[in-house]
Amino acid sequence: MEYTEAGLSGGGNNEEPMPGVSKPAVSEPVPPGPVGVLKELGQTAVPAGEPDIFCMTIIGQIEGHFVLPPHNKTTKYEHIIPQLVAAEQNKMIKGLLIILNTVGGDVEAGLAIAEMIASLSKPTVTVVIGGGHSIGVPIAVASTYSIIAESATMTIHPIRMNGLVIGVPQTFEYMERMQERMVKFVTSHSRITESQFKDLMFKTGELNRDIGTAVGGADAVRYGLMDEVGGIGAALAHLNRMIAAAPQPMGGTVVKGGLPQ
C-alpha cells in the first residue's frame, strides 16, 4: 500500500480515500527567484555585489546588554561581532563596506563594535546616510576611510544613562571615564582635536532641551570627523582603490586615510 494523490490506494489512482484516513500534508516548494522570496518571506531579493567586498549595515538603535522593545528597530552587537570575525577570516573578502543610519544606543556595545572595526586588518569604509548619532559617531570614524552623505547628520553630546541611577560619586566618576573613552577613541581615529570635539559635545543652544551639537555632512568633514562628503558610489570606488593598493596576500596594516603603510 502507498499514499497517492487520490488517497490511500492499493493500485488505481482514481479510488476515493478510505474513511477516517486523511491525505498527508504536502508542502509547496518556495518558487525560485525574487517573486518567491517576496511572496513567502516578505522580502525583496538583494542583488549580489562584488564577491570580494562584504557589506554590513548598522541601523536603528544599537542594542546592548538589555533587550529593547520589539517595536524598536535595532542592531544587536552580538550579531555584528561574529560577522566581523568571519569577514576577517574569510580569504575571499578583501574589504568591508559599513553603512550607518543609527540613532545611537548602548555605549559599551557601540564602542565594542567600533573597536572591532578599527582592529580589522582589511580596508574598511563607512558611509553615514541619514544619521550617525551619539555612539554612532565612534563607529563612523572607526574605519580606514569615512564618508558622510551631504544630507546626513551626526549628533555629538555627553553620554547619558536611563533607568535606576545610584546617586553616589562613583556613578558620576564611571560616567566621566566612559565619556573619556569615547572622546579618546573618536579623536584618535579622526582628524578632530579633543578640544574641538568637547566643544561640540558641551555646546548649548543647538538642540531642544539638551546640550550638544548636530553636525551636518559638510561640517563633519570641515571639523575633521569624516573624510569626505559622498555616497555609496564614492565609498565603493575608494574601497576598490584601497584593495588594489593593498599588499597581496592581505594582512598589511592600513592607516587612516586609505593608504597602506
From the centroid of its chain, how far is CA 148? 14
What is the Cβ-side half-sphere exposure of residue 29, based on CA atoms within 13 angstroms?
Answer: 3
Distance, in Å, from the CA atom of 55 to the CA atom of 77, rounded to the nearest integer, reads 16
Q: Quick one: DSSP state of residue 91? A: T
Quick one: which of 261, 176, 188, 173 has its CA closest to 224? 188
> How many CB atoms within 10 Å of residue 81?
15
Distances, alpha carbon 236 to alpha carbons 31, 99, 210, 231, 243, in Å: 33, 11, 36, 9, 10
Q: Side chain identity at 130, as an amino acid letter?
A: G
Q: CA geometry: angle at 61 spanning 227 and 153, to 5°? A: 35
Catalytic residue among 143, 146, 157, 189: 157
Catalytic residue among 133, 134, 189, 190, which? 134
CA quadruple 138, 143, 145, 147: dihedral, nearest 10: -50
157 is annotated as an active-site residue: yes
Q: Please report, in angstroms and rounded to a whole number, the separation of the first and last CA atoms in the chain.
A: 73
Q: Are strands 228-229 and 124-132 parallel, antiparallel or unpaired?
A: unpaired
Omega within 30 of 0 (cis) for the link into 249: yes
Residue 47 corresponds to which amino acid?
A: P
What positions carry a catalytic annotation?
134, 157
